[in-house]
Amino acid sequence: MRHYDAIVIGTSQGGLTALTTLLSKLPKPLKRPVFIVQHRHPDSDETLLYLLNKVTPLNVVEAEDKAAIEPGNIYVAPANYHLLIESPDKMSLSVDERINYSRPSIDVLFESAADVFQSGVVGIILTGANSDGSQGIEKIKKLGGLTMVQDPKTAESAEMPQAAIKTKAVDHVLTLEGIARVLAKL
């Protein structure tokens, strides 16, 4: 079985439902870090973290600038900040311009994770209403990582999964339960 060093997940409209379903099925202990970009309002509070921590025994925390990456933690990009992976053991935050009208941007996270972890990253696109994440999925696949997308038929908003599928850089199109099963086998 191939080894993966990190999991990156991107979602937008309908993401809370998708994330709670997916995270509730992840195994504990989780041996690798998980990074999440959920598009949300720039003034969002910590409600997302609170709700995600209720559905998983894993540690869900807000990503912090220059913080060390701990295996088994789930890092959520803060509202209005891009989340980047700087090295295998450090992340950073940025207020650079919006990408695809979004900050945080899924593409920013995915592309930086691909640069750092190369073939050791798993990229997952869930429900959402734009094309953010498609370029990042392409880069992850190009560098040898594993790519998965929520089946658009099961997504609250199918545009983001469909845009990723159109890149032809997706290894698996699965239900949320199917994605969780693949992650559990990793």
Please write the tens of the pLDDT for every residue from 114-168: 999 999 999 999 999 999 999 999 999 999 999 999 999 999 999 999 999 999 9
Task: Give the whole-angstrom CA distance, residue 43 versus residue 54.
Answer: 22
**pLDDT score recorded for residue 185:** 87
Per-residue model confidence as pLDDT tens digits over 44-70: 888 899 999 999 989 999 999 999 999
**pLDDT score recorded for residue 149:** 98
Lowest mean pLDDT among 25-29, 34-38, 119-123: 25-29
**pLDDT score recorded for residue 41:** 84
User: Which residues, in sequence order, are CB contacts of 43 under 8 Å at separation 6+?
Assistant: 79, 80
Cis peptide upstream of residue 27 (ω within 30 degrees of 0): no
User: In the block, which residue shows the tokens 């592309």?
Assistant: 111
Contact 66, 90 (CB under 8 A): yes
2 has pLDDT over 80: no
- Give the mean pLDDT of 35-50: 90
Contact 137, 170 (CB under 8 A): yes
96 in active site: no
94 in active site: no
- Give the mean pLDDT of 29-56: 91
Residue 150, strand partner residues: 174
Contact 134, 159 (CB under 8 A): no
12 in active site: yes
Fold of 6-185: Rossmann fold (3.40.50)
Contact 150, 123 (CB under 8 A): no
- From the candidates 105, 107, 131, 132, give the one annotated as an active-site residue: 132
Helix, strand, or coil (residue 147): strand
Task: Give the whole-angstrom CA distance, residue 127 versus residue 10.
Answer: 8
* Pick from 16, 40, 19, 172: nearest CA to 105: 40
**pLDDT score recorded for residue 121:** 98
Q: Which amino acid is at 76?
A: V
1 has pLDDT over 70: no
Q: Reading across the β-sheet that carries 172-174, which strands appear in turn?
A: 59-62, 73-76, 34-38, 6-11, 121-125, 146-150, 172-174
Per-residue model confidence as pLDDT tens digits over 69-107: 999 999 999 999 999 999 999 999 999 999 888 999 999
Task: Give the whole-angstrom CA distance, residue 121 versus residue 18.
Answer: 20
- Give the mean pLDDT of 162-181: 97
- From the candidates 12, 105, 112, 157, give the one annotated as an active-site residue: 12
